[in-house]
Structure 1
């Protein structure tokens, strides 16, 4: 019983840290200051053509890669490590199928953690715009 309780507490605290960071709550051992940006730098890959493109996605504006439309709602990054620990809320819409393909947080340091699932295109966050 005690082992089960310890595992439950450990799992709950491990899962609570990313949620707390997303809400701007200070977490011991994590960066003290989470900053917001007005956009993100995204990278898109066309698997058929074998080409990549980096683009500047302003918050609230639509960015196109092929027949996909990406929109960054928010980008956050720790003040002490803006390059690799950025995370952005992105909506990706397919204009051909007229459906939402992705809506959620993407993390620059772990792009496969919450990735776009599309047959032709990959899209991920490189970093938040800091200037």
Structure 2
């Protein structure tokens, strides 16, 4: 009960400055899902009003907005998430990209979080994964 009240206060307070800061509506957004049992992950690129299913979950993007001055800074997405084994949604509400734990879906098997809004003309920076250093090769060269 406390968590719900705190969340309502935080989100209602966040909604007021959002309009004052110049937030814009996006045509879509990108969310990431994680299956905690298998370790499998994936990204869903959804247009506003569109839904996609993965396993038992169906994720619908209701809305996505971002700061006009800095699209990479903060995405806010309103999601409705259904689990095929339940009648009611397992999550309905706003998720914030920079603070996913503030309004997280509570599910025993899956996690879902917002990555970004889809903004025309904006390309997010590419993430380059570097392979881990081989400790054995490093230690062989030492001490010779």
In structure 2, C-alpha distance between the alignment counterparts of 1:21 and 1:40, rounded to whole Å:
21
TM-score by length of 2: 0.71
Unaligned 5+ segments in structure 2 are 1-9, 121-144
Q: Is the 8 A contact 2:67 2:73 kept in 1?
A: no
The reply on whether 1:50 has 2:39 as its aligned counterpart is yes
Bigger fraction of residues in strand: 1
Selected match of 1:41 from 30, 36, 44 = 30
TM-score by length of 1: 0.78
In structure 1, C-alpha distance between the alignment counterparts of 2:17 and 2:47, rounded to whole Å:
22
Q: Secondary structure at the match of 1:42?
A: strand
Look up the match of 1:20.
16
In structure 1, C-alpha distance between the alignment counterparts of 2:61 and 2:12, rounded to whole Å:
24
Q: Deviations over 1:22-55 (max 9, x none)?
A: 5x2x1xxxx3x21101111000001111111011
Q: CA RMSD in A?
A: 1.7
Bigger fraction of residues in helix: 2
Look up the match of 2:98.
109
In structure 2, C-alpha distance between the alignment counterparts of 1:37 and 1:126, rounded to whole Å:
13
How many matched pairs? 111
Offset at residue 89 of structure 1 (A): 0.6
Unaligned 5+ segments in structure 1 are 1-13
In structure 2, C-alpha distance between the alignment counterparts of 1:67 and 1:16, rounded to whole Å:
31
Please tell me whether Structure 1 or Structure 2 has the larger radius of gyration of its CA atoms.
Answer: 2
Look up the match of 1:90.
79
Look up the match of 2:127.
none
